[in-house]
A and B are shown apart, each in its own frame.
Chain A
Amino acid sequence: MLSQLDSLKTEALAAIEAAQDESALEAVRVNFLGKKGSVTALSQGMKDVPVDQKKEVGAKLNDVRTAVTDGIESKKLALQAAKDAKAVEGIDVTLPGRPGAGVGALHPLTQIRDLAIRTLRRMGFALAEGPEIETEWHCFDALNTPADHPARNEKDTFYLPDGRLLRTHTSSVQIRTMEAAKSLPVRIIAPGAAYRRDEIDATHLSVFNQLEGLYVANDVSLGDLKGTLEYFFREIFGANTAVRFRPHFFPFTEPSFEIDVKLEAKGKDARWIEIAGCGMVDPAVFTAINKARGDTLFDPDTTTGFAFGLGLDRLAMIMHGITDIRHLIDNDVRFLQQFAA
């Protein structure tokens, strides 16, 4: 019996080794360990084994059964592993991915506007807005612009038949905001479209985008204006960006400045690029606001403020090296997809 067991074990392990798939392996199991299997048959023969040999034969029988069971189990795992490996055979992972719905993009103007807004919000500016169809009062009179100022001309400004106009700058939102303000301080930024009667060419659009800023309180100084805008442009263009303020003239601020930042163009020396206008709110603006409000919230003797405005189209062009402003309104996908996130 012992020798029978030895040869059975050899036979079973060979059969396991030879099994090519799960069903062959199952057949082997049935053959040896099934109800009618050879190992089962031998264990039924245990009752005929003499008592003095029972212990030895029993141990041997157990050994054979364990060896066969383990053999089947490990072969099963090996077969599964081979099958798993086969499942990924021949997959070329270097092929392009499935496009899904494809990649879209935010317009570069939206991106730059959002960057500007996020930066200024960190300094506690709230957003404000106003109508694009404006009264002459909000766009010019209240902003201390003389009655015969050239900007009011029909050659330069779009008018509606009813006498209103398309705002020539977002500065009219300063007026709208101060008219409606309940208290000081007023600290707002206003992104928006503005209109000028310009022929469209590589550097001009008749409708363009600006960002206006206004901070009015009782102790606002030129130092606040400088600190705020230095911070802003360094956040936008990099911490080491040089920013300079050149005295200039605007009817609604005094003193007034134009702001240049020093930027490097590809392969060229860094140069000063004009980027924004700013200044301290002219007291005449406060006087006009008070008159319209019928109170003295904006007392020109104690209230001070700064205002600034910048062209977002120009900012986008400088930032991305865009050479023709018309790209911003053509919406050619070959242009837009360059700005995908």
Chain B
Amino acid sequence: MQTSLSWLSTHLDLSSYTVPQLSDLLTFAGVEVEGIEEKGVTTDKVVVAQIQSFVQHPDADKLSVCQVDDGSGTPRQIVCGAKNFKAGDKVPLALPGAVLTGGFTIREGKLRGVDSLGMMCSGKELGLGEDHSGLLIMSPDSPVGTPFNQLNPADVLFDLEITPNRPDLLSHLGLARELAALTGLPLKSERDHAKTATKPKRAAEDQIAIQAAEACPLYTARLIKGVKVGPSPDWLRRRLESIGLRPINSIVDITNFVLMEMGQPLHAFDLDKLNGGIGVRMAAEGEKFLALDGQTYALQTDDLVIADSQRPVAIAGVMGGEETGVTDTTVNVLLESAYFAPSGIRRTSRRLGLSSDSSYRFERGIDPQQVSGASELATKLILSIAGGTAEDVILAAGEAPTLVGEVTLDEDRARKLLGTPDMQGDEIHAILEKLGLTKKSASKQESRWLIPSYRLDLQRPVDLIEEVARVIGLDRVPSRQTAVASPVEAADRAYDFAMNLRQSLASRGFFEAQTLRLISTAQLADNPNTAEPVAVKNPLSEDHTTLRPSIVPGLIATAALNIRQGLHRLRFFELGRVFLQLPKGGSREEERLAILLSGPVSPSSWHAREPQAADIHELVGQIQNLTRTPFEVRPAKENTANFLLTSELRAGNRVLGWIAQLHPARARDIDARHPVYVAELLLSALRQGSTGPTKFEELPRFPGMTRDVAMEVPADLPHAKVATFFASQKHPLFVGAEVFDVFTDPTGTKMAKDRKSIAWTLTYRASDKTLETAEVDAAHTSILSALEKTLPAVVRR
């Protein structure tokens, strides 16, 4: 909310506080100061001067050389570029040394060779509005030599963020009340308008009929006849302009002034344009309404309207109608002041996308007790500014609702919650009293408080504790540090496991990416796995319509971005959540690790300008190095459109994840220079294999012996088949086998094209002795003969 210091100062004398002090005061009362703007002239070195004479500048057509009286007794020469003045005009003159808006300092100097000892100013140059068309011509009775800011006091504008629990601060009076409580300064009580209101008189049915008492518990109207509408006086225009409101006409300006003064929205109708009495009712379905902003709105049955006998004349609390508003020709006025229930106003304002200063306050809640007072203040102002006569009474329908009552405070509980065991009851009482609460009773333990009608937020004991905390501030509360021995949770284990994976990958040259969890529908094709994604009902853009069912699409986008920057060695991973639609409704969220790699196995350097590009075996190797769980790679029967070589990684029955090659067509799309490989792993499955402490295995005490075997097999016999064979061998001396060569000859000269030669090293060892050659030979022979029986293999002997 835009708040004027000079306006606030009409309610209490803040002259003993500097602007930063006021800013701190508000900040630590919970009112965030989002901006401070000094308006007008703060320096004394801008004075009223009178232009005595002027002549054309000898060397410049557009400049005049003026002799001015600055009140010092000595004429002063000023060169000026404006044209809008005549001899005898009074204007603001910035003397040398004056600092104007934007930090611009005035100095004595020469303009085209002629001395100029200051500057005569436009409104804009003084920071007073946007007028830059010429000098600011002041009224003829302005005393020459007087500092400009004595005649036009400077103002400070605070841009305040009022939290939704404090609607009572959405006015200058409300803020002044708060500042009075915080500083102890007295409020100028005659300005507390709520207390001086005329007692309302019950309106007759044909005058005001409320048909929606829940949405509008209280409606008042005051008739003022014979007004003369015109522009507002300077003081009123200045007040409104100071907080960024545009003056319209005296009546409308007065309602806006009262709104910003007291926080009570008012509406003035042109009485002669109303047909019959006022009705407060819900709109008919589809009812049309032409509002002040020139727009026609289609209303619904849950929109509250003010209507005459024929049509709606206002959307209650939100905006008045174009046809019944006050104009320059208005003679008779009906002044509305009412209490509308917040939820209805909020609903209507939101649905129509129509927010006003009025709806903003009603939907947060106004003080029901100020309704008559505000009407009274506006009436007084109208009578004094626009003339006319007011009817003696305010017509009212309904009752002001009681929104606050009494609250009991357990003071011990307050001390405990605040962590201030030494705080005395007297201090608590003093704080609440200066905030306007009235003590109804007090015992050693408890006190009972009557809440002022404007403090809608004070309903429960804890609300009073908050007030105490707010006023004493956290500086008064001693810091306490407690450590609690917390048992490790599943989430802790999962986090540590994930961090280890991250660190492991980063130390092997991978960059961790963090991509958005919302992806486009088009990106779903970049998932190597088929999954039903979860779509958002109200996406903000086509790029973010769906919760990702896989991290891979994000990594492919990451690859594309980096390729555009000229990078072709790509090593990325991301660890995070994916979202899967369940067939019977609902969804599942799971943590995954995705890896993308493409390009040379190591960065190019002077050792190797272009190292060999990675293949899918490098990806498999990287995964093997990540987990202690042995797994097999099982080629999938099908690939999704953007992938080849899709394979499942399995440890027994457990699926650890998938690997795949990005289809070359898709890789070309993103201008990849090398094949792109991706993997996605399920963290929970990976973690299953690595729980519990490692069990130590005794080191072999005797040396092992190795035997190599080369064999020819059909080219399409997967390695996994041979590995499975060796893994299943139970010979007591046999320890294990490893492949060390795979040879194929696509030309068919050294070996048939449909054959391949593979070579393995087999290791033998006994735990209790050094093996004899003959023992090893015998074991080896038996395993080889089993091999030839089990697999379509011809051992080379």
The answer to whether A246 touches B503, judged by C-beta atoms less than 8 angstroms apart, is: no
Q: Is the CB of A105 within 8 A of B512?
A: yes
For A132, give its contact among B477, B488, B539, B579 (CB under 8 Å).
Answer: B579
Bound Cα distance from A161 to B417, whole angstroms: 42
Interface residues on A, range: 35 or more
Distance (whole angstroms) from the CB of B378 to the closest CB of chain A: 30
Q: Is B511 located at the chain interface by the 8 A CB criterion?
A: yes
Q: Is B463 an interface residue (CB 8 A)?
A: yes
Chain B residue with Cβ nearest A114:
B499
Q: Considering the chains assembled together, what is the distance between the CA atoms of A33 and B724 in angstroms?
A: 64
Given contacts A248-B32, A255-B465, contact A160 B537 (CB under 8 A): yes
Within 8 A of B (CB), among A197-224: 197-199, 205-207, 215, 217, 219, 221-224
Contact at B507–A104, with CB atoms within 8 Å? yes
Given contacts A104-B508, A166-B536, A249-B165, contact A153 B466 (CB under 8 A): no
- How distant is A189 from chain B, measured CB to nearest CB, in Å? 9
Nearest opposing residue in chain A for B469, CB measure: A255
- How far apart sit A206 and B558, CA to CA, in the bound complex (Å)? 18
Give Cα distance in the complex from A31 to B416, angstroms: 103
Interface size class of B (residues with CB under 8 A): 35 or more
User: B491 contacts which of A96, A102, A127, A195 (Cβ < 8 Å)?
Assistant: A127
Q: Does A328 contact B (CB under 8 A)?
A: yes
**Chain A residues closer than 8 Å to B483, beta-carbon distance:** 122-124
Q: Which of A104, A107, A123 contacts B509 (CB 8 A)?
A: A104
Report A279 CB to chain B, min CB distance, Å: 9
Q: Which residues of B contact A340 (CB under 8 A)?
A: 506
A148 in the interface, Cβ–Cβ < 8 Å? Answer: yes
Chain A binder among B111-119, B138-146, B342-350, B760-768: B342-350
Asked whether any CB of chain B lies closer than 8 Å to the CB of A159, the reply is yes
Q: Is the CB of B419 within 8 A of A224?
A: yes
Given the interface pairs A99-B603, A228-B481, the reply to whether A104 lies near B512 with Cβ below 8 Å is yes
B474: Cβ under 8 A from any A Cβ: yes
A159-B538, A199-B540, A255-B470 are contacts. A105–B506 as well, Cβ < 8 Å?
A: yes
Residues of B536-585 at the interface with A, using a CB-CB cut-off of 8 Å, are: 536-541, 544, 547, 558, 561-562, 565, 567, 569, 571-572, 576-577, 579, 585
Is A48 part of the contact surface with B, judged by Cβ < 8 Å? no
Residue of B nearest to A125 (CB): B486
Within 8 A of A (CB), among B465-518: 465-466, 469-470, 473-474, 477-489, 491-492, 494-495, 499, 502-503, 505-518
Query: Which residues does chain B contribute within 8 Å of A109, judged by CB atoms?
Result: 514
Whether, in the assembled complex, B381 has its beta carbon less than 8 Å from a beta carbon of chain A, the answer is no
Is A333 in contact with chain B by the CB < 8 A criterion? yes
User: Whole-angstrom distance between the alpha carbons of A247 and B477 in the complex?
Assistant: 13
Structural contact, B516 and A257, CB atoms closer than 8 A? no
**Count of A-B residue pairs with CB < 8 Å:** 239
User: Which of A104, A126, A185 touches B506 (beta carbons < 8 Å)?
Assistant: A104
Q: Are B491 and A128 in contact (CB under 8 A)?
A: yes
On chain A, the residues within 8 Å of B417 by CB distance are 221-222, 280, 304
Query: Which of A154, A222, A249, A329 has a CB less than 8 Å from the CB of B538?
Result: A154
Q: Which residue of B lies closest to A100 (CB)?
A: B602
**Which of the 9-residue segments B23-31, B66-74, B252-260, B670-678 touches chain A?**
B23-31
B517 & A193 in contact (Cβ 8 Å cutoff): yes
Q: Which one, B164, B463, B511, B544, contacts A333 given CB within 8 A?
A: B511
Interface residues of B in 408-436 (CB under 8 A from A): 416-420
Most chain B beta-carbon contacts within 10 A, residue among A98, A114, A207, A333: A333
A152 to B242, CA, bound (A): 35
- Closest A residue to B465 by beta carbon equals A255
Q: What does the 1/0 interface line of A146-182 toward B look like (CB < 8 Å)?
A: 0010100110001111100010000000000000000
Docked-complex contact A207 and B518, CB < 8 angstroms: yes
Say yes or no for B605: interface residue by CB 8 A criterion. Answer: yes
A223 and B166 form a contact (CB under 8 A): no
Q: Is A26 an interface residue (CB 8 A)?
A: no
- For residue B534, CB closer than 8 A to chain A, the reply is yes
Distance of B601 from chain A, by nearest CB (Å): 8
Chain B contacts for A223, CB-based, 8 A: 418-420, 477-480
Q: Is B296 part of the binding interface, using a Cβ–Cβ cutoff of 8 Å? A: no
> Looking across the interface, which residue of chain B has its beta carbon closest to that of A280?
B417
Partner of A161 from the list B474, B488, B509, B535 (CB cut-off 8 Å) is B535
Shortest CB-to-CB span from B365 to chain A, Å, is 11
Within the complex, what minimum Cβ distance (angstroms) separates A156 from chain B? Answer: 10
Q: How far is the CA of A244 from the CA of B539 in the complex (A)?
A: 38
- Let me know if B536 and A126 touch, CB within 8 A: no
Judge whether A309 is part of the interface by a CB distance below 8 angstroms.
no
A residues less than 8 Å from B165 (CB atoms): 249
Check A96–B605 contact: CB distance below 8 A: yes
- For A136, list chain B residues within 8 Å (CB): none
Whether B577 lies near A221 (C-beta < 8 A) is no
Q: Is the CB of B561 within 8 A of A330?
A: yes
- Name the A residues within 8 Å of B513 (CB-CB): 107, 331, 336
Report whether B561 and A341 are in contact in the complex, using a CB–CB cutoff of 8 Å: no
Question: What is the chain B residue whose CB lies nearest that of A259?
Answer: B474
A19 to B512 CA separation, bound complex (whole angstroms): 62
Q: Give min CB distance, B269 to chain A, whole Å.
A: 29
Inter-subunit contact A226/B474 (CB<8 Å): yes
CB distance from A128 to the nearest CB of B (A): 5
Q: Residue-by-residue, is B379-402 near A (CB-CB < 8 Å gives 1, otherwise 0)? A: 000000000000000000000000
The verdict on A133 contacting chain B, using a C-beta distance below 8 Å, is yes
Across-interface contacts of B534 in A (CB, < 8 A): 133, 160
- Given A95-B606, A99-B602, are A329 and B516 also a contact pair (CB < 8 Å)? yes
Question: Does B462 have its Cβ within 8 Å of any Cβ on chain A?
Answer: yes
- Once the chains are docked, how many angstroms separate the CA of A198 from the CA of B538? 12
Contacts of B309 in A (CB 8 A): none
Check if A110 is an interface residue, CB within 8 A of chain B: yes
Select which of B32, B470, B544 is within 8 A of A206 by beta carbon: B544
Among A230, A245, A331, contact of B514 (Cβ-Cβ < 8 Å): A331
* A314 within 8 Å of B (CB atoms): no
Min CB distance A67 to B, Å, is: 46
With contact pairs A106-B502, A127-B491, A280-B417 given, residues A337 and B536 touching in the complex (Cβ less than 8 Å): no
In angstroms, how far is the closest chain B Cβ from the Cβ of A217?
A: 8
Can you list 22 A-B contacts with CB-CB less than 8 angstroms, sorted by A residue number?
Answer: A98-B605, A100-B509, A105-B506, A107-B513, A126-B492, A133-B589, A160-B536, A166-B547, A199-B541, A215-B484, A221-B417, A226-B480, A231-B481, A245-B474, A247-B29, A247-B469, A255-B465, A280-B417, A283-B460, A331-B561, A332-B562, A333-B511
Which 8 pairs from chain A and chain B are nearest by CB? A223-B419, A221-B419, A247-B30, A249-B163, A227-B479, A102-B509, A101-B509, A127-B491
Beyond A280-B417, A336-B511, list 12 extra A-B contacts (CB 8 Å). A104-B511, A128-B491, A133-B547, A148-B343, A148-B346, A154-B538, A158-B518, A159-B538, A256-B466, A283-B462, A331-B558, A336-B512
- Chain B: residues with CB nearer than 8 A to chain A? 27-30, 32, 163-166, 343, 346-347, 350, 416-420, 460, 462-463, 465-466, 469-470, 473-474, 477-489, 491-492, 494-495, 499, 502-503, 505-518, 534-541, 544, 547, 558, 561-562, 565, 567, 569, 571-572, 576-577, 579, 585-587, 589, 601-603, 605-607
Residues of A within 8 A of B (CB): 95-96, 98-107, 109-110, 114, 117, 122-129, 131-133, 148, 150, 153-154, 158-162, 166, 185, 187-188, 190, 193, 195, 197-199, 205-207, 215, 217, 219, 221-224, 226-228, 230-231, 244-249, 254-258, 280, 282-283, 304, 328-334, 336-337, 340-341
